[in-house]
A and B are shown apart, each in its own frame.
Chain A
Amino acid sequence: MQTFVTLVRRELGAFFISLTGYAVMAGVLFLLGLSMTLMLKSLNATPVAVPIIELFYETAFFWLIVLLAAPVITMRSFALERASGTYETLMTTPVSDLEVVLAKFTGNLIFFLITWLPLLAYPLIMKRYTSQPDAVAAGPLSTTFLGIFLLGCLFMSMGIFASSITRNQILAAMNAFAMGLCLFFLSFVSKMVPLGDGLASKLAAHISMFDHMGDFVRGVIDTRHVTFYVTLTVMFLYLTLKVVESRRWK
């Protein structure tokens, strides 16, 4: 436990003593602010009948943050340690491989969630200036953050896996981005290609991250969605663990 906490602190601390961490935070803050502004602008022009939070995930910026920021956050986790050689000093201390993988995952996930914190300010601002009491409700807001948390788990584990298979940070980021983009575009398969009523269309509907998020912002916690994210996260963490262990049998 002591080593786990030490590693998480190091992982998280690294974001705050490097420029990358602040650059990512600034980028996310900018995109969040931009999407908020554009959303309010369109609301001024045409009133809509749904809560504001529901509009939010449909903006391109929301997904841009998930797809772009996540690889930049995770790219350094293993790749940098491998490139600089600190991987060797790390792995010769009495830590287990699982501890290292979980600590990296936890550290990156916490940072990912920190970058989303400014989002909390927007409902408060809106509450202050709107006459509609239902414009922002606590329920949907918390499930939205649950959705962001689950998305974060998936994208962090995917990014860490991408980072563990290379010593080049750029490659790690690109691999993670490519995987994330593929997964995201699968969301639209059922809308773009007629699949009929068969298994394929059911599958396509199940893996649509866009639809998952749609449920979360409406305040619906669907266990199927939760299972989707948890299993994928566990799978990527398992793959990462195998990559870390591979130095013993390579």
Chain B
Amino acid sequence: MKALLASLILIFAAEGQLADPQEEARAQDLMREIRCVACENEPISNSGSDIAVDMRERVRELVAEGKSDEEVRNWFAERYGEFVLFRPSSHGIRGVLLWGLPFALLIAGGALAFFLRRRQTKADVKAIDPEDAV
């Protein structure tokens, strides 16, 4: 009877962590990337709503089963739609646009600035006293 009670308490405290600290850390990182479906713009790691508690538990279960990060994310995306992932997919035109545009802008902007300047500048440029300015 005592053992049963103890296990009941354990289940109640199942919000408790995974035994392996590395797995727990991985689970917590994933929880910060998965969106609570009942809240406004919150990851499940922050939310106190019941569904978030359930979702957190499911993350721990999947991690304990040895699923990779990608597999855990896919599991949630299949069940709730891609909306729950704060890390949107990088596949397809949409993904390439979203993930690639910042770096493309950086490279294109750098190249543009470099060539524009080279076209304007003539030979011989002298250094100016740097003390003159901040």
Q: Do A and B come from one complex?
A: no
Residues of A within 8 A of B (CB): none
B residues at A contact (CB < 8 Å): none
